[in-house]
Every structure is written in C-alpha cells, then in structure tokens.
Amino acid sequence: MKNFSLTLLASFISAILAIAVYRYFEKPQEVVIRETVPARYTNYTDELMSGNQGRQFLSSSPTNFTTAAKAVTPAVVNIKASTSSDFDFWGSGYGGSSGSGVIISPEGYIITNNHVVEDSKSVEVTLNDKKKYEAKLIGIDENTDLALLKIEGDNLPHLAFGNSDSILVGEWVLAVGNPFNLESTVTAGIVSAKGRSIDILEGEYKIESFIQTDAAVNPGNSGGALVNTNGELVGINTAIITRSGRYEGYSFAIPSNLAKKIISDLKDFGMVQRGILGVGIDEVTDETAKELGLSTVEGVLISRITPKSGADDAGLLKGDVIIKINGSKTSTIPALQEQVARFRPGNKVEVEYIRSGKRKKAMVTLKNKGNTTTLIGGRDESFLRDLGFELRDLSSTEKRKLGTDGVMVVSVYRGSKIERTNMDPEFIITKINDSKVGSIEEVIETIKKSDDKVMLEGIYESYPGEYYYAFPI
C-alpha cells in the first residue's frame, strides 16, 4: 500500500513538472472559429443627395442567396409567343419564340422583352407552379426592347421595383429566368458596369444604358429578372455578347428605373410618352476636352440644337457640355439618354452644363417628337405604327425654309407597308390623295377616309423634284 502511494505521488509530481516545462518552452496558439459573415446594412447618401431615391436594405453575404431566390422565383414566368400563320421545318404548326417574364403586380401585369413577343399572334404564360394563362399584349417599346403583357389573375406572386440607380459596380445580383425546358433558373454574379451600350437596338430614339453583369444568362432567360440580394427588381435581362450562341461571361439588363417609366406609359397610354431635349449629341473625347478646356474627359457634347425645342427655349447652345440631369451625372451618351427617357413631354428637368469653362444650369421643358408638350394618343400612334412609320410635324422654321406645309417621316419600320414602297426617312408628306396635309392629325384623318389605296406625295429636302408612294389600305 505504501509503495502504491509513493508511485501515485511520483506520477502526480511528474505530470506537474511536464506541464510546467511545456508551458515554459511552447508559446500559446490561437484558435480561430469562423462565424457567419454579419449582415451589412448599406445606405448610399450620394444617391440621396443627387435627388434619386436612396435605399437601405439587407445585403447578404456572397454565399447566401436563398432568401432572395425563394422570394423571386414564383414571380418569374415562361413566355411562349406563337405566330399561328407560321410553320416550322417539321410542320408542327408552331412558329415563334419563347423567353421569360416578370410579374410586377398582383393583378397580372408582366414585363418581358419586345423581341420575345414581337410579331406574335398569341402569347401563352406559364407560371412557376405550372399554371398556364393566355396573355394580352398591352404595348411594346422597340426603343428599349420592352413589352407589357396582362394575364387575368388575382393575388399573383410579384416583384417590387428596386432602385437601379443605387446599385454599384461589384455588387452581388441574381439573374432569374424561366426558360421553356428548364423551369426556373437562378444564377449569381456581380455588377460589372453600368450605362453600357452594345449597339443592338435600332432607331433614332433607341436607348441603351444597360447594367452589365457576369451572372450567367442564356437564351430563354430574356425578359427575366435581375434582382439585388434583397429580392428587389433592379433590371430586366435582355442580351448577351456571345460567339457560340451561349453565355460567355457578359450579360446585359435594362435598368429598373427606366423600365418602370416605360411600363407605366404602356399601361396608361398604350405607347411610350418620350420626352426629348431637342439636341444632337456626341461623346466628349480627349481632344474635345482639351479644346473646350475641360478638366475631365466626361460629359455629353451638344453638336446641334433643334429650333424651338426645349433646349433651344432654355438657352442651351451648340458646344455646351451636359454633365448632369437633375443632379445625376451624365458622363456618357447612354447615361444622358437613360436620365431623359424617364420623363414625359411637359416635364421639366434641370440640366447642368459647362460653357466656356464655367458651370451653368438651365431648366428645360421636354417636348415630344412633334416638338410640342402634348401627350400623343396611343390609338393614333398604333395606327401609324401598323402602317409602318413614325411622323412629326414640321417646325415653323422648316416650313419657311421649304416653302410648304407638311409632315416629316422620322423612321420606317422593317417589313411594313411603308417599307415596301421604298420610302426613306426624312420624306416630307405634303399631300395624300391630292389633299394637302400639314399635321399628323390631318395625315391620320385623310388615310382613314381613304377607300382602298393611299397615294402619298411629297419631297426630300436634299433631293430635287417630287416623289410619290402608294400602298393599299
């Protein structure tokens, strides 16, 4: 028993000595426990100061998008647009296209791309829960590639608009689509750039100020949602740059602030009420900046002023450099176009510009394509669009210069009756079926009174002689 006690005591003393020696020679180690990244509340005071609606939302860590994805996917739908008169190669009787769309109201209004539904005879919408609806086309805008649809529903899942001005380069976003063969798809990426123009749209009044992301977007996802990590709609996915026909690292979305205005116009008027400054514009280059004595190579150079336009009335001049609209920087042409496109004819915008090295401000009342502040009726605009052209009234200066009244053709739509006459833009219509016309209203009224054939008579300012174009009603 005595030997056992001595052995136990010796063991205890040895253990104490061992611990003491270990602590003396070995430095203490740090143990790091990885915790979840705390949520960050983000507030952009610069946006608030610029007059844009700021935000304060929960920005999740880069590894957790589940809440946003769960909230968004029920509101993103599949869209199948068909042309009943077309037949595909296999003779199935279906011709058309498919893509995605976003429900933006509980009563069933849906945003998608115009190129998804253009020339369609019918549109079928399939929700995330597999329910199918026939959709009505409310309106389209080729200048932004947007379209508004309506399905008959009640208390449908929908997305709230976010503030696309507030998103920053490097911020996480989700691209959500509903292609026909995959149901819902969710991809994540960051905002790579803002105000991108990739020259995919046509027309004098096209607006390309895309949000560029590296979130994967493939064909079939066009018209789908780009959302922030709070699940708010900040863009409508529209295009990719690709050589293979599939995603290769770049995707582009229409900013939600622009889309919101376009969709509101389509809902209220059936067409877009586009406010116009009345200027011709060019980018500011390094050479231009040096010539004008600018401290930075940014802004938009005014190269031409339309007589009696809002810009002309406000005293803007050729050679001025526009740097802000309502406090928002306009470093590039797309940025300027996007800001102006958010307003209707009759709205006033504050334009900040540089002239002779000095900063100045002017309040500009925007006008429409006809150089007035009146809102154009959607029914009449649709009538002209169906025929295949856009028109504007001549200004009093143009009438004096040309020595005639008339209406100018602004643009001609591809595949239309007007295009088949070989008419070019800038044709000035002076007579219809031998009756003089001096306004858009008179053009519409005269054509509607025609029996079976319309003969347009007019001139081109740059070419001698009179020209005639005929088409059937």
Q: Which of 60, 115, 209, 256 is catalytic?
A: 115
d(CA 236, CA 239): 10
Largest Cα–Cα distance in the chain?
Answer: 135
What Å distances lie between residue 161 and 4, 222, 234, 429, CA to CA? 81, 18, 7, 43
Residue type, 289: A
Nearest to 394 by CA among 304, 306, 318, 312: 306
Sole residue written with tokens 């893509």: 99
Reading phi first (left if > 0) and then psi (alpha if -120 to 50, else beta), residue 138 is in alpha
Q: Which of 82, 100, 166, 222 is catalytic?
A: 222
Is 129 part of the annotated catalytic residue set? Answer: no
Q: Which of 82, 97, 141, 145 is catalytic?
A: 145
Is 222 part of the annotated catalytic residue set? Answer: yes
Residue type, 218: N
Look up residue 345 and give its two tokens: 């004819």
Sole residue written with tokens 């003969």: 455
The H or E element that residue 42 is part of is strand 40-43
For residue 54, give the 3-state DSSP assignment.
coil
The H or E element that residue 173 is part of is strand 172-177
Give the DSSP letter string of 18-53.
HHHHHHHHS-------PPPPPPEEEE-HHHHHTTS-
Catalytic residues: 115, 145, 222
